[in-house]
């Protein structure tokens, strides 16, 4: 029985660790400025936790086999513990866990505390049951007024986000179901939700943020590679949660300008 337990625990440990190390299923390739940082912090955490995992499971399997009951003659070490060992163990874990935490905090700080870079592209993302819409303020750089009373999801586009045409600033606002942004420029993102909480999740950008009704949440990130990236909703928002997805297209500055101009032209 001891040997069977040892084999099972070690097997589980080996197989579990193998698929992490082999990266059979892994993060998508990072395409934003902070992705490398986040992935690095993950790797450091993984190595440290991996060592603890293998050591603890290894010892568990080993001990139950090594100290299995082999009859009354087998000596048992009568002990109530060892205070010195307890203190060493406690301090080591505290240093390890708190240290890890402090290491990762820099990325969080630059992403969330600092304002976006000067010249960042303003985009507003709105979540509603069950779609994402992206708004660009147009040449005037100002988002027009929106009103809850004017929202109409079935009409799509500007009507879906409730854009008020009577406001002068809304005349040049562009609303799109696909998110276009230029590469290597920061995005100054404002997140809104109209009905329930949604969460804008772009795995390749290592980006996730809830969109909360009643709040406008500002975030920023910088794509560093052109391409098409999928957007998913990460917060349960109702029966259509699973199909609330969108597309992020990271393009060159010229393509972005051209796309924006064509949308403005369409509107006139």
Partner 1 sequence: MASTEIIHAHAAPQGFIRKYIFSLDHKVIGLQYYFLALIAVFVGMGLSLLMRIHLIWPNANLPIFGAIKPETYLMFLTMHGTIMVFFVLTTAPQGGFGNYFLPIQIGAPDMAFPTLNMLSFWTTFVAFVVLVAAFFVGAPLHGWTGYAPLSAVPSAGPGEGLGADLWITSIAIFCAASLMGALNFITTVLDMRAKGMTMMRMPLTCWAWFITAILGLLAFGVLLAAGILLLMDRNLGTSFFVPGGLNFTGQTSFPTGGFSSSTDLIKHNGGSPLLWQHLFWFFGHPEVYIAILPGMGVASQLLSTFSRKPIFGYRAMVYAMLGIGILGFVVWGHHMFMSGMSPYTAFAFSIMTMAIGVPSAIKTFNWLGTLYQGRVRFHTPMLFAIGFVSLFVSGGLSGPFLAQPVLDIPLHDTYFVVGHFHLIMGVAAIFGIFAATYYWFPKMFGRMMSEGLGRWHFFLTLLGTYAIFMPMHYLGLAGQTRRYSEFTQVAYQTKLIPLQTFITYAAIVTISAQFIFLFNLFWSMAKGKKATDNPWEATTLEWTTATPPPHDNFGGRTPVVSHGPYEYSVPGAARDFVMQNDPATTPAH
User: By CB under 8 A, what part of segment 122-161 binds partner 1?
Assistant: 128-130, 148-149, 151-154, 160
Partner residues linked to 219 by β-bridges: 189
Which one of 197, 224, 255, 263 is in contact with partner 1 (CB under 8 A)? 197
149 vs 266, beta carbon nearer partner 1: 149
Are 206 and 234 in contact by the 8 Å Cβ rule? The answer is: no
List the x/- string, 18-57, binding to partner 1 by CB under 8 A.
-xx---xxxxx--------xx--xx--xx--x--xx--xx
The two structure tokens encoding residue 240: 């259509």
Contact (CB, 8 A) for 35 and 205: yes
State yes or no: residue 187 binds partner 1 (CB under 8 A): no
Q: Does 68 interact with partner 1 (rule: CB under 8 A)?
A: yes
- State the sign of the Cα–Cα–Cα–Cα dihedral 17, 19, 25, 27: positive
One symbol per residue from 221 to 240: x for binding partner 1 (CB under 8 A), - otherwise; what is it? Answer: ---------x-xxxxxxxxx
> Please, what is the minimum distance in Å from the beta carbon of residue 252 to partner 1?
23
| Helices 35-66 and 83-112, packing angle to 10 deg | 160
According to the binding rule CB under 8 A, does residue 114 interact with partner 1?
Answer: no
d(CA 245, CA 177): 10
> Do the Cβ atoms of 194 and 128 come closer than 8 Å?
yes
* Residue 86 interacts with partner 1 (CB under 8 A): yes or no: yes
* Binds partner 1 by CB under 8 A, chosen from 47, 69, 118, 254: 69
The SS3 call for residue 156 is: coil
CB 252 within 8 A of CB 182: yes
Q: How far is the CB of 182 from partner 1 (least distance, A)?
A: 22
Choice from 127, 199, 248, 256 touching partner 1 (CB under 8 A): 199
Does 4 help bind partner 1 (rule: CB under 8 A)? Answer: yes
d(C-alpha 40, C-alpha 133), whole Å = 32
CB of 231 to partner 1, least distance (A): 9
Give how many residues touch partner 1 by CB under 8 A. Answer: 106
């Amino acid at each position: 029985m001891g040997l069977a337990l040892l084999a099972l625990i070690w097997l589980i440990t080996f197989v579990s660790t193998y698929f992490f190390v082999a990266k059979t299923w892994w993060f998508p390739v990072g395409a934003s400025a902070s992705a490398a940082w986040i992935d690095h912090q993950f790797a450091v955490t993984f190595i440290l936790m991996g060592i603890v995992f293998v050591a603890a499971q290894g010892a568990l399997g080993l001990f139950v086999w090594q100290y299995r009951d082999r009859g009354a003659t087998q000596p048992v070490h009568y002990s109530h513990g060892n205070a010195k060992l307890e203190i060493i163990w406690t301090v080591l874990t505290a240093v390890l866990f708190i240290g890890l935490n402090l290491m990762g905090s820099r990325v969080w700080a630059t992403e969330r505390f600092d304002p976006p870079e000067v010249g960042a592209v303003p985009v507003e993302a709105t979540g509603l049951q069950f779609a994402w819409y992206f708004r660009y303020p147009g040449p005037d750089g100002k988002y027009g007024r929106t009103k809850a009373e004017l929202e109409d999801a079935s009409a799509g586009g500007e009507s879906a986000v409730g854009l008020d045409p009577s406001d002068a600033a809304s005349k040049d606002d562009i609303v799109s179901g696909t998110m276009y942004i230029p590469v290597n420029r920061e995005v100054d993102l404002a997140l809104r939700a109209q009905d329930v909480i949604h969460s804008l999740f772009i795995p390749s950008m290592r980006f996730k943020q809830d969109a909360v009704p009643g709040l406008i949440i500002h975030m920023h990130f910088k794509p560093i590679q052109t391409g098409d990236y999928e957007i998913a909703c990460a917060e349960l928002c109702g029966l259509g949660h699973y199909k609330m997805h969108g597309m992020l297209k990271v393009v060159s500055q010229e393509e972005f300008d051209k796309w924006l101009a064509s949308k403005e032209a369409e509107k006139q």
